[in-house]
C-alpha cells in the first residue's frame, strides 16, 4: 500500500489525495464528466421472503378486501388514491408521496408461476430471465448484464452492499461488494507495517488500499455535518447500510443493490411485517436525507420481491406464498404520486388459481423502462440481452 | 524447511507446520494416498442412512402442521423444529469435522483433493431440511473415490440425493413415460446440462445432446428410501448423447453413458486444466495441462494416475505463489499456524465456532457450503483478494488469534513456522517492529505470502 495513503488516513490531511491512484481516477472522472452512466443513480432493493404487496399497498377501496383480511386492514390507513391506502407503519413516507417522489406498481410479478419457492423465485427475479423456471445457463444478474453493455465502467460504478450476496448485480461486469459493518481498526503502526509488507504485491496492495479508503470514508461521512447520526437499536444496521450506499452514490457510484429480508409472514403478520416495513421506510427516508436534494433528484430506488402472497389471510393471521405482488419506487427522479399497473380485482374468479392476486404486468418491464429512461438503453438491448424475452410495451413515463 | 517441502505444504496441503510423518515428496505423497484414509475413521462424517429417519420426520411433521389445527398443529410444529435442529446440528458437526481432518491429516493432499472434487460437484442445500445433504454427498460419493476412477465418482454423485435434489432431477419426467403422460409432466434439463457442461466434457455439446441426456436421466429420482430408478418416469426409447446411442430404459443405460462421459477426451482436457488451475496457477503452464490430459486419457480417467502426473511435473513445483488461498484454506492454515489441532476444533462450542470460523469465512467471501451456483467457487486470485475480503482477512488476523490461543505464539517463531521458505524479506523486517504481539501475529497472517499459495 502506498505509504502516503496510510499517512493521509492517519492525519486526515487531504493534500496527498492526488497521489493516491484510486482517488485520482475518481477526480478525473468527475471533472471531465465522462462517467459512462451520466448522473442518474439507480438503487435496487431486493425484498427477500415474498413481501405482501396487499399489505404494503392496501386496496381498501375494494369492498372485498376487508373480508379477505380481517386482521390486516384498517379504516385509519393513510389514503393514497381514494382506492389504495398505505400500510400505517409507512406513514412517514406520505410527504414523499405528496411530493411525487413515491409510487407503486401493483399486481406485478416475474414470469415465475406455481411452485412458489423463495429460492427459485429469487433466482428468477435476479437473473431476469423470461422463463417460469430458473434457467441454469444464466448465471449473471440483470443489473450486471446492463453494466456489461456499458463500455468503460470501473468496479466503483456499481456496488453490491451487505452481507447477503446480491446476485442481481453479479456477473462478468466489474462490480464492487462491501459490507458496511466491516471495520479495519488498525493502529498507526500496523498500517505502516501493512503498507510495507504489501508493497511489492500489486493485488494485495490495491485491495488493502481501497479497503482502508472505504472504511475511512464511512467514518468521514459521519462527521461531515450534513447528516443526522445513525440510529442505535434495531435500525442501526439499516442505517449503516444506507449511509454506506449514500456515501458511494454521492461519489462516482451509479448503481447500488442490496437486500432487505424478513418478509415471509406466514403467521401473525400484523406484528411480523412491521420490522421489515420500518427498515424499508428508513432506507428510503435516510437515503433521501443522506444524498441531499441535488443527488436525490437524480435517484430512483426500486424495491422488488420474488412474488406476492395469498389474497386471503390464512388460519394463523398470516399469508402464504402467492403470485402477483407490489413494487415500491421512490426518488427525486420518479414521476410518482401514482399507483401504476392494471388492477385485476379481488373477485375469486379474477384471482390467479383462485387464491393469488393475478399478475397483470412483468416486473422486469418496469425496471427496463426505468433503465431506459435513466440511461437511454436501446429497446432491443433491453428486450433481448438484459431481459431475454421481455416485451417492453408502452412507456409508462416513470421518470419525472 | 526446504523450498520443496514448503511448496508441498502450501500447494498440496493446508500449510505449515506439517503434521508429524507428513510426506513432502511425490513418491511418499502418492504412497499415503494409496494407503488407508485414516481421517475418515478418526473423525467420522455424516451418512445418509443416519439421516433418513429425521428427514422423514421433518417432512411428515411439516405436512401435518400445515393441515392440522390447534394442539395437533402445535405438536407437529414442535416436532418439525426438533427435526430441523437435529439436521442443522449434523451440518455444523460436519463443518467442524472437515476442518479437523484438514488440520490433522498427515496426507493433506487427500483433504485438498476432497475439497477440489466437492467443489467440482457443488451442491447447495435448498431448504433447511437439506442442510446436511451436501456434506453427506462429499462423505459418501466424493471422498471414497478421490483415488479411484473418475467414472466411479461421477456415477456416485449423479445418484446421490443431494445432487438429484439440488439440480432438480427429481422433478424431471420423460414426457412419454407413464407418469409423464398421466400427469402431463416433462423434462427438467438442469442436471443433464450440468453433467455435460460442468461435470464432464465442458463444451462441444449441443442443446440436442442436453435434451437427449435429460431424457436418458429420467427415471433417476429420490424415493422414500433414498435414490432410486423409477421406470415409470423414464422416457421410453434410445437416446443419443455426443454421438453414442444408449438403449434401454434402465439404470444400466444411464451408468454406461456416465462411464463414456468420464473417459471422453473433452472431459480429460476440461478436468486436466481445472486441476492445474486449482492447484498451481490461474494461468497454468501448457505442458502441465497436456501432461494431465495425457495421464487422464491413458489411464481412462484414473484419478490416482492423474494425481501422480500432477505431482511429478516440474511446473507443479515452481516456487511462485500464484494462487490466493481461499477463505477456507486461509482459515485452516491460520488455525494450524496458531497450533490448534482437530481435537481443539471438535471441542469448540457451536457459537464460538460460528463466530470465530464460519462467519469470518463468509465475510471473506466464502460462506460455508453456499457457493453462488452449481459451478462452485471461482478460482482467480482477483476474486478473493478484494477490498472487502482483505478488510475481513486483516481483521481476522489481528483480532481472532488472541481469542483462539492463550498465550499467543512468539511472532518471529510463528513467522518461520508458518511460512518456511516462503517468508519474504519485507515481512521479516516488519514483524519485529510491531507495537505489540497481537499486531505482530496479525501481520504474519495478513501477509501476502501467507494468503497466497
Quick one: average pLDDT of A49-72? Answer: 95
- What is the least distance, in Å, from the CA of B436 to any CA of chain A? 10
Domain assignment present for A290: yes
Q: What percent of chain A has pLDDT over 90?
A: 62
Quick one: average pLDDT of A351-366? Answer: 96
Domain limits for position A123: 40-183+230-386
Q: Which residues of A touch B450 (CB under 8 A)?
A: none
Q: Does B381 touch chain A (CB under 8 A)?
A: yes
Report the half-sphere exposure of A19 (CA within 13 A, side-chain side): 13
Quick one: average pLDDT of A101-126? Answer: 91
CB A321 within 8 A of CB A116: yes
To 10 degrees, the CA torsion angle through B245, B259, B189, B56? 130
Q: Which of A141-155, A372-386, B139-153, B296-310 has the lowest mean pLDDT?
A: A141-155
pLDDT at A5 over 60: no
pLDDT at B244 over 60: yes
Sign of CA dihedral A191, A195, A197, A202: positive
Q: What local confidence, expressed as pLDDT, does residue A35 receive?
A: 62
Q: At A294, which CATH number?
A: 3.40.720
Grid cell at residue A349:
374468479
- What is the least distance, in Å, from the CA of B188 to any CA of chain A? 9
Q: What percent of chain B has pLDDT over 90?
A: 92
**pLDDT confidence of B170, banded at 50, 70, 90?**
very high
pLDDT at A225 over 80: no
Sign of CA dihedral B82, B86, B92, B93: positive
**Sequence-ordered strand ranges (E) for B230-389:** 239-241, 244-246
In whole angstroms, what is the distance from residue A286 CA to residue A280 CA?
A: 10
Domain assignment present for A201: no
CA angle at B225 for the pair B220 and B226, rounded to the nearest 5°: 40
Asked if B426 and A200 come within 8 Å (Cβ–Cβ), the reply is yes
Q: Does A184 touch chain B (CB under 8 A)?
A: yes
pLDDT at A151 over 90: no
Q: What local confidence, expressed as pLDDT, does residue B176 receive?
A: 96
| Three-class secondary structure assignment of chain B | CCHHHHHHHHHCCCCCCCCCCCCCCHHHHHHHHHCCCHHHHHCCCCCHHHHHHHHHHHHHHHHHHHHCCHHHHHHHHHHHHHHHHHHHHHHHHHHHHHHHHHHHCCCHHHHHHHHHHHHHCCCCCCCHHHCCHHHHHHHHHHHHHCCCEHHHHHHHHHCCHHHHHHCCHHHCCCCCCHHHHHHCCCCCCHHHHHHHHHHCCCCCCCHHHHHHHHHHHCCEEEECCEEEECHHHCCCCCEEECCEEECCCCHHHHHHHHHHHHHCHHHHHHHHHHHHHHHCCCCCCHHHHHHHHHHHHHHCCEHHHHHHHHHCCHHHHCCCCCCECCHHHHHHHHHHHCCCCHHHHHHCCHHHHHHHHHHHHHHCCCCCCCCCCCCCCCCCHHHHCCHHHHHHHHHHHHHCHHHHCCCCCCHHHHHHHHHHHHCCHHHHHHHHHCCCHHHHHHHHHHCHHHHEC
Q: What local confidence, expressed as pLDDT, does residue A227 receive?
A: 54
Cβ-based contacts under 8 A for chains A and B: 109
Q: Which of A170-184, A246-260, A264-278, B370-384 has the lowest mean pLDDT?
A: A170-184
Asked if A119 and B126 come within 8 Å (Cβ–Cβ), the reply is yes
Quick one: average pLDDT of A315-337? Answer: 95
In whole angstroms, what is the distance from residue B208 CA to residue B242 CA?
A: 9
Q: What local confidence, expressed as pLDDT, does residue A179 receive?
A: 82
Domain assignment present for A199: no
How far lies B223's CA from each of B218, B219, B343, in Å?
A: 14, 11, 37
- What is the least distance, in Å, from the CA of B280 to any CA of chain A? 18
pLDDT at B302 over 60: yes
* Facing A182 at nearest CB: one of B190, B363, B442: B363
Q: What local confidence, expressed as pLDDT, does residue A308 receive?
A: 97
Domain assignment present for A223: no
Average pLDDT, chain B: 96
Domain assignment present for A225: no
Locate the chain A residue with the closest alpha carbon to B426. A197
3-class state of residue A305 by DSSP = strand
Q: Does A183 touch chain B (CB under 8 A)?
A: yes
Quick one: average pLDDT of A139-158? Answer: 88
Beta-carbon neighbour count of residue B247 at 10 Å?
A: 12
Q: Report pLDDT digits (tens) over B65-82.
A: 989 889 999 999 999 999
In whole angstroms, what is the distance from residue B257 CA to residue B158 CA?
A: 12
Q: What local confidence, expressed as pLDDT, does residue A6 receive?
A: 37
Q: Which residues of A touch B65 (CB under 8 A)?
A: none
Asked if B363 and A163 come within 8 Å (Cβ–Cβ), the reply is yes
Q: What local confidence, expressed as pLDDT, does residue A29 receive?
A: 25
pLDDT at B372 over 50: yes
pLDDT at A15 over 90: no
Q: Which of A31-45, B280-294, B386-400 has the lowest mean pLDDT?
A: A31-45
Q: Does A390 touch chain B (CB under 8 A)?
A: no
Q: Which residues of B touch A136 (CB under 8 A)?
A: 167, 189-190, 193-194, 374
CB A238 within 8 A of CB A283: yes
Asked if A193 and B194 come within 8 Å (Cβ–Cβ), the reply is no
Q: What local confidence, expressed as pLDDT, does residue B243 receive?
A: 96
Instruction: List, in sequence order, every residue forming a beta bridge with B61; answer none if it has no partner.
Output: none
Q: What local confidence, expressed as pLDDT, does residue A217 receive?
A: 65
pLDDT at A23 over 70: no
Instruction: List, in sequence order, every residue forming a beta bridge with A339; answer none if it has no partner.
Output: A104
**pLDDT confidence of B345, banded at 50, 70, 90?**
very high
Q: Report pLDDT digits (tens) over A82-109.
A: 999 999 999 999 999 999 999 999 999 9
CB A372 within 8 A of CB A149: no
Q: Does A203 touch chain B (CB under 8 A)?
A: yes
Locate the chain A residue with the closest alpha carbon to B441. A190
| Better pLDDT: A138 or B416 | B416
**Sequence-ordered strand ranges (E) for chain A:** 41-48, 57-58, 85-86, 102-109, 158-161, 176-178, 255-261, 299-305, 325-330, 339-340, 361-362
In whole angstroms, what is the distance from residue B92 CA to residue B46 CA?
A: 11
pTM of the model: 0.81
Quick one: average pLDDT of B282-297? Answer: 97
CA angle at A219 for the pair A218 and A222, rounded to the nearest 5°: 95
Domain assignment present for A9: no
Q: Report pLDDT digits (tens) over B176-202.
A: 999 999 998 889 888 999 999 999 999
**pLDDT confidence of A183, banded at 50, 70, 90?**
confident
Q: Report pLDDT digits (tens) over B249-284.
A: 999 999 999 999 999 999 999 999 999 999 999 999
Locate the chain B residue with the closest alpha carbon to A196. B426
**pLDDT confidence of A22, banded at 50, 70, 90?**
very low
In whole angstroms, what is the distance from residue A104 CA to residue A90 CA?
A: 13
Q: What local confidence, expressed as pLDDT, does residue A20 receive?
A: 28
In the block, cell 409432466 appears at B185
Average pLDDT, chain A: 85
How many domains in chain A? 1
* Facing A203 at nearest CB: one of B373, B385, B388: B385
Q: Does A22 touch chain B (CB under 8 A)?
A: no
Residue B148, burial from CB neighbour count under 10 angstroms (0-12, 13-18, 19+):
middle
Q: Which of B107-111, B276-280, B371-375 has the lowest mean pLDDT?
A: B371-375
A276-296 burial code (b ≥16 CB/10 A, e <16): bbbbbbbbbbbbbbbbeeebb
Q: What local confidence, expressed as pLDDT, does residue A182 receive?
A: 79
Q: What local confidence, expressed as pLDDT, does residue A135 receive?
A: 74
Locate the chain A residue with the closest alpha carbon to B192. A136
* Facing A207 at nearest CB: one of B126, B387, B433: B387
Domain assignment present for A25: no
Q: Which residues of A touch B394 (CB under 8 A)?
A: 184, 186, 194, 208, 211
In the block, cell 500464484 appears at B322
Domain assignment present for A216: no
Q: What local confidence, expressed as pLDDT, does residue B356 receive?
A: 96
B contact residues 188-217, partner A, Cβ 8 Å cutoff: 188-190, 193-194, 197
Closest CA to B210 of B196, B225, B223: B196
Amino acid at each position: 500500500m502506498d505509504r502516503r495513503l496510510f499517512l493521509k488516513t492517519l492525519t486526515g490531511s487531504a493534500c496527498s489525495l492526488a497521489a493516491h491512484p484510486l482517488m485520482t481516477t475518481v477526480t478525473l472522472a468527475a471533472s471531465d464528466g465522462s462517467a459512462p452512466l451520466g448522473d442518474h443513480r439507480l438503487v435496487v432493493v431486493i425484498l427477500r421472503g415474498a413481501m405482501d404487496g396487499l399489505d404494503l399497498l392496501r386496496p381498501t377501496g375494494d369492498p372485498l378486501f376487508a373480508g379477505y383480511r380481517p386482521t390486516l386492514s384498517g379504516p385509519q390507513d393513510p389514503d393514497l388514491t381514494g382506492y389504495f391506502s398505505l400500510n400505517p407503519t409507512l406513514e412517514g413516507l406520505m410527504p414523499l408521496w405528496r411530493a411525487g417522489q413515491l409510487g407503486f406498481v401493483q399486481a406485478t410479478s416475474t414470469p415465475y408461476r406455481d411452485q412458489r419457492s423463495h429460492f427459485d423465485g429469487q433466482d428468477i427475479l435476479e437473473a431476469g430471465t423470461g422463463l417460469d423456471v430458473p434457467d441454469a445457463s444464466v448465471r449473471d444478474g440483470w443489473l450486471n448484464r446492463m453494466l456489461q453493455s456499458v463500455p468503460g465502467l470501473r468496479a466503483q460504478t456499481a456496488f453490491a452492499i451487505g452481507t447477503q450476496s446480491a446476485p442481481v448485480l453479479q456477473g462478468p461486469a466489474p462490480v464492487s461488494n462491501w459490507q458496511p459493518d466491516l471495520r479495519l481498526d488498525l493502529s498507526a503502526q500496523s498500517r505502516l507495517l501493512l503498507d510495507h509488507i504489501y508493497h511489492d504485491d500489486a493485488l494485495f496492495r490495491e485491495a488493502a488500499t481501497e479497503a482502508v479508503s472505504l472504511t475511512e470514508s464511512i467514518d468521514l461521512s459521519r462527521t461531515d455535518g450534513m447528516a443526522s447520526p445513525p440510529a442505535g437499536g434495531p435500525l442501526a444496521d439499516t442505517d449503516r447500510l444506507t449511509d454506506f450506499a449514500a456515501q458511494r452514490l454521492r461519489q462516482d457510484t451509479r448503481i447500488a443493490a442490496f437486500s432487505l429480508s424478513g418478509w415471509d409472514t406466514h403467521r401473525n403478520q400484523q406484528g411480523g411485517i412491521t420490522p421489515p416495513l420500518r427498515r424499508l421506510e428508513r432506507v428510503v427516508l435516510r437515503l433521501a436525507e443522506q444524498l441531499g436534494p441535488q443527488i436525490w433528484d437524480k435517484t430512483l430506488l426500486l424495491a422488488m420481491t420474488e412474488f406476492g402472497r395469498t389474497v386471503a389471510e390464512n388460519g394463523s393471521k398470516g399469508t402464504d406464498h402467492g403470485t402477483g405482488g407490489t413494487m415500491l419506487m421512490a426518488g427525486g427522479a420518479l414521476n410518482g404520486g401514482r399507483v401504476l399497473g392494471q388492477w385485476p380485482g379481488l373477485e375469486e374468479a379474477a384471482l390467479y388459481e383462485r387464491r393469488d392476486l393475478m399478475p397483470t404486468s412483468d416486473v422486469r418491464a418496469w425496471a427496463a423502462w426505468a433503465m431506459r429512461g435513466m440511461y437511454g438503453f436501446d429497446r432491443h438491448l433491453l428486450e433481448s440481452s438484459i431481459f431475454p424475452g421481455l416485451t417492453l410495451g408502452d412507456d409508462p413515463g416513470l421518470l419525472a | 524447511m526446504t523450498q520443496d517441502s514448503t511448496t508441498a505444504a502450501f500447494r498440496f496441503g493446508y500449510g505449515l507446520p506439517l503434521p508429524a510423518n507428513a510426506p513432502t515428496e511425490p513418491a511418499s505423497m502418492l504412497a499415503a494416498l494409496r494407503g488407508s484414509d485414516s481421517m475418515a475413521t478418526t473423525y467420522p462424517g455424516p451418512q445418509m442412512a443416519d439421516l433418513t429417519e429425521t428427514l422423514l420426520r421433518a417432512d411428515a411433521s411439516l405436512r401435518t402442521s400445515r393441515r392440522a389445527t390447534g394442539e395437533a398443529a402445535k405438536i407437529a410444529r414442535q416436532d418439525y423444529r426438533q427435526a430441523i435442529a437435529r439436521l442443522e446440528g449434523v451440518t455444523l458437526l460436519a463443518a467442524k469435522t472437515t476442518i479437523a481432518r484438514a488440520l490433522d491429516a498427515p496426507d493433506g493432499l487427500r483433504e485438498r483433493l476432497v475439497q477440489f472434487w466437492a467443489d467440482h460437484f457443488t451442491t447447495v442445500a435448498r431448504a433447511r431440511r437439506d442442510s446436511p445433504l451436501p456434506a453427506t454427498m462429499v462423505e459418501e460419493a466424493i471422498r471414497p473415490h478421490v483415488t479411484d476412477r473418475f467414472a466411479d465418482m461421477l456415477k456416485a454423485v449423479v445418484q446421490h440425493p443431494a445432487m438429484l435434489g439440488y439440480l432438480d432431477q427429481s422433478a424431471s419426467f420423460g414426457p412419454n413415460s407413464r407418469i409423464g403422460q398421466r400427469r402431463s409432466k416433462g423434462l427438467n434439463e438442469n442436471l443433464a446440462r450440468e453433467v455435460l457442461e460442468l461435470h464432464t466434457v465442458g463444451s462441444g455439446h449441443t442443446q440436442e445432446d442436453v435434451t437427449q441426456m435429460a431424457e436418458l436421466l429420467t427415471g433417476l429420482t429420490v424415493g422414500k428410501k433414498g435414490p432410486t430408478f423409477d421406470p415409470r418416469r423414464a422416457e421410453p426409447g434410445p437416446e443419443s448423447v455426443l454421438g453414442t446411442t444408449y438403449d434401454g430404459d434402465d439404470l444400466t443405460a444411464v451408468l454406461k453413458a456416465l462411464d463414456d462421459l468420464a473417459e471422453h477426451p473433452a472431459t480429460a482436457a476440461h478436468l486436466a486444466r481445472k486441476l492445474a488451475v486449482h492447484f498451481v496457477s490461474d494461468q497454468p503452464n501448457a505442458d502441465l495441462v497436456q501432461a494431465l490430459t495425457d495421464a487422464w486419457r491413458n489411464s481412462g480417467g484414473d484419478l490416482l494416475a492423474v494425481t501422480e502426473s500432477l505431482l511429478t511435473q516440474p511446473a507443479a513445483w515452481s516456487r511462485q505463489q500464484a494462487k490466493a488461498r481461499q477463505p477456507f484454506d486461509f482459515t485452516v492454515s491460520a488455525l494450524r499456524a496458531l497450533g490448534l489441532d482437530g481435537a481443539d476444533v471438535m471441542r469448540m462450542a457451536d457459537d464460538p465456532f460460528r463466530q470465530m470460523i464460519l462467519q469470518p469465512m463468509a465475510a471473506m467471501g466464502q460462506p460455508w457450503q453456499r457457493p453462488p451456483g452449481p459451478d462452485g467457487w471461482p478460482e482467480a486470485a482477483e476474486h478473493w483478494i478484494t477490498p472487502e475480503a482483505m478488510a475481513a482477512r486483516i481483521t481476522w488476523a489481528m483480532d481472532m488469534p488472541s481469542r483462539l490461543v492463550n498465550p499467543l505464539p512468539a511472532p518471529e517463531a510463528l513467522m518461520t513456522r508458518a511460512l518456511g521458505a516462503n517468508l519474504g524479506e519485507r515481512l521479516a523486517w516488519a514483524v519485529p517492529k510491531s507495537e505489540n504481539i497481537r499486531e505482530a501475529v496479525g501481520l504474519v497472517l495478513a501477509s501476502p505470502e501467507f494468503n497466497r499459495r
